[in-house]
Amino acid sequence: MTEQDWTRLRAPTLGDMEALADAAYAALPTSFTRLCEGLVIRVEDFPDEETLDDMQCESEFDLLGLFRGRGLTQGAHLSETGEQPNMIWLYRRPMLDYWADSEDTLGAIVTHVLVHEIGHHFGLTDADMEEIERRAE
């Protein structure tokens, strides 16, 4: 086994995290992604102050991802004029912090958070989301 040269490694950028999210989304079953038409996925370093307050977070590291919008069970297919698109935010720095204390790969964490947030869009149970995530791997 060769030793890793840590002196040349850098933390994943927003672009790197977007690429991980794109790959995770592409690996999901088509039957799942077909129902995500129009869903916008964004990667940010941290949630904004309003989101932290709304979610009652104690720290900017408490939230790994967030779904905002009108989910399928609330009539997401019925868009209204001026309504924002359904969006998922993935938060880079909290995910990196979680990764540092995890045995999971960063790709697995991004996939988990993405599937979980899409699951909120669908109204799925945690068991449903875990099964979809297993299929994506």
Residues 115-130: tens digit of each pLDDT: 889 988 887 777 887 7
C-alpha distances out from residue 19 to 12, 43, 111, 134, Å: 10, 10, 11, 20
What pLDDT shows up at residue 100? Answer: 96
Laid out side by side, the sheet with 40-44 consists of: 40-44, 87-91, 65-68
Q: Which two tokens stand for residue 9?
A: 């490694």
Size of the chain in residues? 137
CA dihedral in degrees (80, 66, 71, 54; nearest 10)? -70
Domain spans of the chain? 12-69+85-136
Alpha-carbon distance values, 21 to 7, 16, 28, 40 (Å): 26, 9, 11, 12
Task: Give the model's confidence band at 76: pLDDT under 50 very low, under 70 low, under 90 confident, else very high.
Answer: low
pTM: 0.83
Q: So what CATH class is 12-69+85-136?
A: alpha beta
pLDDT tens sequence across 38-55: 899 999 999 999 999 999
| Residue 9 predicted with pLDDT over 90 | no
Which residue, chain included where needed, has tokens 């949630």? Answer: 47
Report percent pLDDT > 90 for the chain.
56
Q: In 3-state terms, the chain is what percent helix, strand and coil (to 5)?
A: 50, 10, 40
Distance of alpha carbon 79 from alpha carbon 81, whole angstroms = 7
Residue 2 reports pLDDT greater than 70: no
